[in-house]
C-alpha cells in the first residue's frame, strides 16, 4: 500500500451544526480523500476529482470546509503546524494544499 499523501489525526469533523467526531482522521491516499471517525470507521470518501476544499469566509483560522460527494463538512484542524515531536493536527493550509496538489478543487467558501 502506498504512503498517504496527507494524514491528520485529532480533527473535529462536523456537518452543518452537528459534530460527527471530535478526534477524527482526514487522509488523502491513492487519489481519494477519506474522512474517518476516531475508531477508523468511514464517514465519507470520494475520489479527489469529486472533492473541493477551502476556508470558510467567517470563522476561526483553524477551520476548513470540504465538499465530498456533494456533502459539505466542516473540519477543525490546527491553526499552525505542530512542532517536531509535538502532537496535534496539521494546519488548514497544508490540508488545502494537499487536496489541490492531489487533484481536488479549491472552493471559494
The model's pLDDT over 4-43, given as tens digits with 9 standing for 90+, comes to: 688 988 899 999 899 999 999 999 999 999 999 999 999 9
- Of 30, 11, 28, nearest to 20 (Cα)? 11
Give residue 43's pLDDT.
97
**Phi and psi at residue 8, to the nearest 5°:** -135, 130
The model's pLDDT over 35-69, given as tens digits with 9 standing for 90+, comes to: 999 999 999 999 998 999 998 888 777 899 999 99
Give pTM, 2 decimals: 0.84
The model's pLDDT over 79-98, given as tens digits with 9 standing for 90+, comes to: 666 767 666 667 888 899 88
* C-alpha torsion sign, points 91, 60, 68, 100: negative
Amino acid at each position: 500500500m502506498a504512503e498517504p499523501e496527507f494524514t491528520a489525526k485529532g480533527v473535529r469533523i462536523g456537518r452543518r451544526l452537528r459534530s460527527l467526531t471530535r478526534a477524527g482522521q482526514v487522509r488523502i491516499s491513492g487519489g481519494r480523500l477519506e474522512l474517518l471517525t476516531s475508531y477508523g470507521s468511514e464517514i465519507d470518501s470520494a475520489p479527489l476529482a469529486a472533492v473541493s476544499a477551502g476556508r470558510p469566509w467567517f470563522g476561526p483560522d483553524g477551520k476548513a470546509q470540504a465538499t465530498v460527494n456533494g456533502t459539505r463538512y466542516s473540519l477543525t484542524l490546527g491553526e499552525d503546524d505542530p512542532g517536531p515531536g509535538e502532537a496535534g493536527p496539521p494546519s488548514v493550509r497544508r490540508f488545502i494544499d494537499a487536496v489541490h496538489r492531489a487533484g481536488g478543487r479549491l472552493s471559494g467558501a
